[in-house]
Amino acid sequence: MAYPFDLPALGYAHDALEPHIDARTMEIHHGKHHAGYTSKLNGALESHADLHGKSAEALLSDLDALPDSIRGAVRNNGGGYVNHALFWDVMTPGGASSPSGDLAAAIDAAFGSLDDFKSQFEAAAAGQFGSGWAWLCVDGTGTVKCFATANQDSPIMQGLTPILGVDVWEHAYYLNYQNRRPDYLAAFWNVVNWDKVGARYRAAVA
Ligand code: MN3
């Protein structure tokens, strides 16, 4: 997908992730926040026809190549565009409740166990000061890594492929959880579709 970018469909009902993520949060988060990143990304690129053939991932992977005048807008809104697309997808209702196969082995190798990974992921997410994301990413060798990023920065900017992410901007949880970010993070595991994460892992290492 390239310019003009479309807001990806959610693929399930706004209330499908209840009670862990409430319908009103999903309506605003997808229909307003993600839509806003999409339109602002398009706005930044509108007068740069030479960039219209590039995917958002390609733009983020080489921000230095962009004109100074739009680098920040693409970083923020292109990041917001791809980060949210991943977020909705890995929370698709159904699917496996734990990883399997090569992804499970990679998580065990990197973190010791699934529970140890979850602890590190939640700590990264809870410890991100202000707005940002926590990630499970994979490098070119199949090794997985866990860390947080600020604002809408994407691991793609570091040459890594994100395969699981959680949004810790307050807009992601404030209606339901107010200041209780750790409660939101604990509930997040109930809606993670590990089949989706595993498919992303396999695609990244293929
Ligand atoms: Mn968000």
Alpha carbon of 124 to ligand 1 centroid (Å)? 17
Q: Which pTM was predicted?
A: 0.97
Q: Phi and psi (nearest 5°) for 84?
A: -70, -35
**The CATH number of 101-205 is which of 3.40.50.1820, 1.10.150.530, 2.60.260.20, 3.55.40.20?**
3.55.40.20
Q: What average pLDDT does this structure show over 50-72? A: 98
15-30 exposure pattern, b = at least 16 Cβ within 10 A, e = fewer: ebbeebbbeebbebbb
Q: What average pLDDT does this structure show over 128-156? A: 97
CB proximity list for 58: less than 8 A, separation 6 or greater: none
Alpha carbon of 119 to ligand 1 centroid (Å)? 22
Q: Is 1's pLDDT higher than 90?
A: no
21-54: pLDDT as tens digits: 999 999 999 999 999 999 999 999 999 999 999 9
Grouping H, G, I as helix, E, B as strand and the rest as coil, residue 91 is coil
The Cα-based distances of 6 to 14, 38, 81, 82, 162 in angstroms read 19, 7, 9, 11, 21
102-130: pLDDT as tens digits: 999 999 999 999 999 999 999 999 999 99
Alpha carbon of 54 to ligand 1 centroid (Å)? 23
- The confidence score (pLDDT) of residue 95 equals 95
- The confidence score (pLDDT) of residue 116 equals 98
Contact assessment for residue 129 and residue 148, using Cβ atoms and an 8 Å cutoff:
no
Alpha carbon of 101 to ligand 1 centroid (Å)? 30
Percent over 90 (pLDDT), the chain: 99
**The CATH number of 23-90 is which of 1.10.287.990, 3.40.50.300, 3.30.70.1050, 3.10.20.30?**
1.10.287.990
Alpha carbon of 83 to ligand 1 centroid (Å)? 8
